[in-house]
Amino acid sequence: MKILNIVGARPNFMKMAPIIEAMNQYPDQIQHLLVHTGQHYDEKMSKAFFDDLGMPKPDIDLEVGSGSHAEQTARIMVEFEKVCLREKPDLVIVVGDVNSTMACTITAKKLGIKVAHVEAGLRSRDMNMPEEINRLCTDVLCDYLFTTDRIADENLKGEGVAEEKIFFVGNVMIDTLLKHKAMAEQLPLRETLGLAPDGYATLTLHRPSNVDDPQVLQGILDALAEIAGRLPILFPIHPRTRKMIQQFGFEAYFRTGERIAGPGIWLTDPLGYLEFLHLNMTARLVLTDSGGLQEETTVLGVPCITLRHNTERPITCEEGTNILVGNHKEKILAAAQTVLNRPGRAGRIPEKWDGHAAERIVEVLVAREG
Ligand code: UD1
């Protein structure tokens, strides 16, 4: 069985790493190639993750880069079609919900190639999110839908997906987290930055709905500045957010420096996987609009405040440590107050988020296709 594994953007890398490792256990049955679309291309958004995760270098790099959604998606499709025609895979595996996920799915299916989607069935029901469109288009076309929880199974069944295509396997991102936790713990970064366990918050922010409108972004930054008066916030900044902050002239909200000296929102370049895991493990609070971080904090038992009105990962609120607050200043502040005024950590780990999801995926594929 010849498989093309697809990655494109930062959140894909930690999902694909354990799948590749699990495939390597079947050298007689599986031949696999890693395709990087090049959606993310900055050293700190891409290569650093390959190094951290011990991933093999991509066999094929499409180098598509940034652009409008149509441009980026179209470029990936044109380049990936050539790869499919040349390599003639039996199966393509896509992960997550980025433009690369959808573009490669459509391309492969139109050539009659089977596609498996890892992290299928997540739904925010918010069609303003580009990722929701990517999820819907991907899932309707795929032959194998590997899910992280039973809510996703129900979403898919509700959309008419045949039950025999759905496989509840658990969460590959958590495979990676559990594998690297001990290693991340050993890093000296927290001390280098002058941070004490439970003495800081971390922040990620990059959704267009939060960072593209100056009024919305200003409201969020006002709330964060107040929280940062009580607890320093470390903010590894995404390139698109950096661009918007410069465009709107919001630089005064931030501090920079080698060490976190006192209150404030402290900017750093994007961090590597291990560094960020290291910092999140002992954060008092995580503030985010990312998808994956909602799941990682649930497993780490660290309180997470999600600056979005909806989530495609409701299990992190039902069972984990996540609170959805939207992006209005007062709501963000009230949630932070609640979390900071209550001691300890809460939540439980969802079913099958146990470090073995990738093995389950590959077992299914070998049994059915091998
Ligand atoms: C993409 C995903 C999003 C995911 C995020 C994680 C889609 C629709 N969005 O969003 O779901 O949460 O990745 O990071 O696929 N840029 C750089 N260097 C890079 C990559 C991007 O400078 O390596 C800048 C460019 O200005 C680019 C902008 O960031 O135009 C947006 O990049 P893009 O890949 O379109 O989307 P993300 O916002 O990164």
Write out pLDDT tens, residues 26-65: 999 999 999 999 999 999 999 999 999 999 999 999 999 9
Three-state SS for 6?
strand
Q: Where does the pLDDT of residue 214 fall: very low under 50, low under 70, confident under 90, or very high at 90 and above?
A: very high
Say yes or no: CB of residue 63 within 6 Å of ligand 1.
Answer: no
| % of the chain exceeding 70 in pLDDT | 99
- With beta carbons less than 8 A apart as the criterion, state whether 101 and 75 touch: no
Read off the tokens for 301. 């038992």
Confidence label for 346 from pLDDT (cuts 50, 70 and 90): confident
Q: Is the pLDDT of residue 254 over 90?
A: yes
CB 20 within 8 A of CB 31: no
Q: What atom in ligand 1 is closest to the CA of residue 45?
A: 23
Average pLDDT, the chain: 97
Ordered structural domains, the chain, with CATH: 2-171+353-369 (3.40.50.2000), 180-341 (3.40.50.2000)
Ligand 1 pocket check for 98: Cβ under 6 Å = yes
Which residues sit opposite 305 in a β-bridge? 287, 323
Pocket lining: 239 vs ligand 1, CB cutoff 6 Å: yes
Q: Which atom of ligand 1 is nearest to the CA of 207?
A: 38
User: Whose CA is closest to atom 19 on ligand 1?
Assistant: 40
Distance of alpha carbon 43 from the chain centroid: 17
**pLDDT tens-place string over residues 75-134:** 999 999 999 999 999 999 999 999 999 999 999 999 999 999 999 999 999 999 999 999
Give pLDDT tens digits for 283-330. 999 999 999 999 999 999 999 999 999 999 999 999 999 999 999 999
- What 3-state class would DSSP assign to 276? helix
* Range 163-169, long-range pairs (CB < 8 A, 24+ positions): 166/120, 166/121, 167/360, 167/361, 167/364, 168/352, 169/352, 169/357, 169/360, 169/361, 169/364
What's the rounded Cα separation, in Å, for the pair 357 and 18? 9
Q: For residue 343, give the DSSP letter.
A: -
pTM: 0.97
> What is residue 282's predicted lDDT score, i.e. its pLDDT?
97
With a pLDDT cut of 90, the percent of the chain lying above it is 98
Question: Which residues are tagged catalytic?
Answer: 206
Q: Give the pLDDT band of residue 368 (cuts 50, 70, 90).
A: very high
E strand or H helix at 203: strand 201-203
Work out the pLDDT band at 342, boundaries 50, 70, 90: confident
Question: Does any ligand 1 atom lie closer than 6 A to the CB of residue 47?
Answer: no
Mean pLDDT of 230-253: 97
- State in Å: Cα 274 to ligand 1 middle: 20
* Residue 119 to residue 175: CA distance in whole angstroms: 13
- Which amino acid appears at position 245 of this protein? I
Helices (H), 170-272: 172-185, 189-193, 208-211, 214-230, 239-248
DSSP for 21-44? HHHTT-TTT-EEEEEE--SS-STT
Q: What angle do CA 330, 335, 336 make, to 5 degrees?
A: 100
Reply yes or no on whether the pLDDT at 235 is more than 80: yes
Q: Does residue 11 have its Cβ closer than 6 Å to ligand 1? A: yes
**Whether pLDDT at 343 is above 90:** no
pLDDT for 344 equals 66
CB within 8 Å of 204: residues ≥ 6 apart = 235, 236, 238, 287, 288, 289, 290, 293
Residues 6 or more apart whose CB falls under 8 angstroms from that of 111 comprise 81, 84, 85
Nearest-CA residue for ligand 1 atom 12 is 290
Q: What string of DSSP letters covers 278-329? A: HHHHT-SEEEE--SHHHHHHHHHT--EEE-SS--S-THHHHTSSEEE--S-H
